[in-house]
């Protein structure tokens, strides 16, 4: 495997960058979507059951099946890869965002209103900061899961390290097949661990000391 890496270090670094970039961009988009939906659900409680059902059902859809459905709609390349990763990334973040926002004590919200805060300021200054640790836990879960989904997205010629994995598996028994698959797999794991470590640091930097566990 080391010989395989030494033959193409620049390409490996570039594919690693593409993999990380795809996942991080997808999770950022998914976080915005999930938090917005969670706020809507908080304001319309009867949507909670629907959101939980959609989250549970969505995670049972095989990623290969979703990617196959996306091919006739938007073709191959980074577009279906991004859509698929965003789809799966939304689900755990949405569930945690709903739980986090619902877990904010009503007394604190009423106190903020009593101090003259309007609903938007109450959301930004009280509800979201208190729910942030739970939301961030969902983001960490989503991020780790998305690295695996992004690897599978090589099926539709998506960018990243999945090309090494699929290339190795499709050439089993050939020269360098095992090294290619192992390089892609280990690369995904290493990048996922690095990004998770960065999220831990982000949690420490953005979570209020009063609610930090």
Please report, rounded to a whole number, the percentage of residues in the chain having pLDDT higher than 70.
96
All structural domains of the chain, each given as residue ranges with its CATH number in brackets, are 1-206 (1.10.3720.10)
Q: What pLDDT, on a 0 to 100 scale, did the predictor assign at position 7? A: 77
Residue 213 has pLDDT above 60, yes or no: no
Residue 1 has pLDDT above 70, yes or no: no
Residue 34 has pLDDT above 80, yes or no: yes
Query: 């009593």: which residue's tokens?
Result: 114
**Segment 39-64 mean pLDDT:** 83
**Segment 146-161 mean pLDDT:** 89
Q: What is the mean pLDDT of the chain?
A: 88
- Asked whether the whole model's pTM tops 0.85, one would answer yes
User: Using CA atoms, how far apart are residues 152 and 162, in angstroms rounded to an integer?
Assistant: 6
């Amino acid at each position: 495997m080391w010989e395989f890496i030494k033959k193409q270090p620049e390409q490996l670094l570039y594919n690693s960058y593409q993999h990380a970039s795809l996942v991080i961009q997808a999770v950022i988009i998914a976080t915005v979507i999930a938090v917005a939906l969670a706020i809507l659900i908080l304001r319309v409680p009867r949507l909670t059951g629907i959101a939980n059902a959609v989250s549970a059902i969505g995670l049972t859809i095989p990623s290969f099946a979703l990617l196959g459905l996306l091919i006739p709609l938007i073709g191959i390349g980074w577009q279906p890869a991004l859509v698929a990763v965003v789809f799966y990334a939304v689900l755990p973040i949405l569930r945690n965002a709903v739980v986090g926002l619902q877990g904010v004590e009503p007394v604190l919200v009423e106190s903020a209103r009593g101090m003259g805060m309007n609903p938007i300021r109450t959301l930004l200054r009280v509800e979201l900061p208190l729910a942030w640790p739970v939301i961030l836990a969902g983001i960490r879960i989503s991020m780790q899961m998305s690295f695996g989904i992004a690897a599978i997205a090589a099926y539709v010629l998506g960018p990243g390290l999945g090309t090494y994995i699929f290339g190795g598996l499709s050439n089993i028994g050939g020269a360098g097949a095992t090294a290619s698959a192992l390089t892609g797999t280990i690369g995904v794991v290493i990048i996922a661990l690095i990004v998770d470590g960065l999220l831990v640091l982000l949690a420490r930097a953005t979570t209020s000391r009063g609610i930090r566990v």
